[in-house]
């Protein structure tokens, strides 16, 4: 069953998350998501990896750490160890607005229906829904509201710039 929501629809996940604890190390092929430290240490080697490479930021690891690498990264994952830790929202917004990052921003970890709308507005376009939840149900969370007051990733205008003057 697909757990990934991307650009508003369920889809298959081709990416494998590689954690530093993985005994086998980095697989030879395939699309991989590596930790920030792994990326910073092995950046050059990873650029020759046979498959795409993304980096996962944990809370406390800011986008600034990747500022020079964004062109090399088709995807940045932002980890939510617990959904109530909201640092990732600011990271996504920063990636989109300060750094103009155009690639995929994927929420991973404790990713649940009731936070999707906020995440999406902050610039996430992919959500790896927590394994025990039904992703097709979670998908509904993207449509909780049709009205927003603030600027967001889809519309850079707050409501007072959307009204006809």
Partner 1 sequence: MYVYQDYDQRLLDERVAQFRDQTQRYLDGKLAEEEYRPLRLQNGLYVQRYAPMLRVAVPYGMMASAQLRMLAHICRTWDKGYCHVSTRQNIQFNWPELQDVPDILEALASVQMHAIQTSGNCIRNTTTDEFAGVNAKEIDDPRPWCELIRQWSTFNPEFAYLPRKFKIAVNAVPDEDPALIGVHDIGVQIVENGQDETGFQIWAGGGLGRTPMTGEVIGEFIEPKYLLAYLEAVLRVYNKYGIRDNKYKARIKIIVKAMGRDKFRELTEREFAELKDGPITLTEHEIERMRASFPAPAYSSLTDLPQALSQALSSDKAFSRWYHTNTRAHKQAGYRAVTLTLKKTGRVPGDITDEQLDVVADLADRYSFGEVRTTHQQNMVLADVRQDELFDLWQALESMGLATPNLKLLTDIVACPGGDYCSLANAKSIPIAEAIQHRFEDMDYLHDLGELDINISGCMNACGHHHIGHIGILGVDKKGREYYQITLGGRGDKVSRIGDKMGPSFESDEVADVVEKIVNLYVELRHDGELFIDTYERVGMEPFKERIYGPAN
Binding site for partner 1 (CB under 8 A): 59, 62, 83-87, 89-91, 93, 97-98, 112, 114-115, 117-119, 121-122, 137, 144-152, 156-161, 163, 165
Nearer Cβ to partner 1 (47/161): 161
User: Angle at CA 83, nearest 5°, toward 97 and 86?
Assistant: 40
Nearer to partner 1, 50 or 143 (CB): 143
**At closest approach, how far in Å is the CB of 128 from partner 1?**
17
Among left, alpha and beta (phi > 0; psi -120 to 50; other), residue 122 is alpha
Q: How many CB atoms lie within 10 A of CB 76?
A: 25
| Residue 150: partners with Cβ closer than 8 Å, 6 or more residues away | 121, 158, 159
- If the CB atoms of residues 8 and 158 are measured against partner 1, the closer one turns out to be 158
Of 74 and 158, which CB lies nearer to partner 1 in the complex structure?
A: 158
Q: How far is the CB of 2 from partner 1 (least distance, A)?
A: 19
Q: How far apart are CA 85 and CA 38, in angstroms?
A: 23
Three-state DSSP state, 49 = coil
Q: Minimum CB separation from partner 1 for residue 145, in Å?
A: 5
Q: Would you say the C-alpha torsion 64, 156, 10, 108 has a positive or negative sign?
A: positive
Nearest one of 64, 88, 93, 76 to 35, comparing CA atoms: 76
Tell me the closest approach of the beta carbon of residue 80 to partner 1, in angstroms. 9
Nearest distance, CB of residue 74 and partner 1, angstroms:
24
- Indicate the residue among 7 and 44 with the shorter CB distance to partner 1: 7
């Amino acid at each position: 069953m697909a757990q990934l929501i991307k650009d508003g629809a369920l889809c298959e996940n081709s990416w494998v998350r590689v954690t530093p604890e993985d005994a086998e190390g980095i697989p030879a092929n395939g699309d991989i998501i590596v930790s920030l430290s792994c990326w910073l240490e092995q950046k050059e080697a990873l650029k020759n990896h046979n498959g795409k490479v993304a980096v996962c930021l944990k809370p406390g690891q800011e986008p600034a750490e990747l500022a020079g690498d964004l062109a090399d990264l088709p995807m940045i994952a932002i980890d939510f160890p617990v959904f109530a830790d909201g640092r990732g929202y600011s990271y996504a917004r920063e990636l989109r607005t300060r750094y103009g990052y155009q690639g995929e921003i994927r929420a991973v970890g404790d990713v649940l229906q009731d936070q999707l709308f906020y995440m999406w507005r902050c610039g996430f376009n992919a959500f790896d829904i927590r394994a025990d939840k039904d992703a097709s149900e979670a998908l509904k969370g993207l449509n909780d509201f049709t009205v927003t007051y603030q600027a967001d990733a889809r519309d850079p205008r707050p409501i007072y710039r959307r009204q006809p003057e």
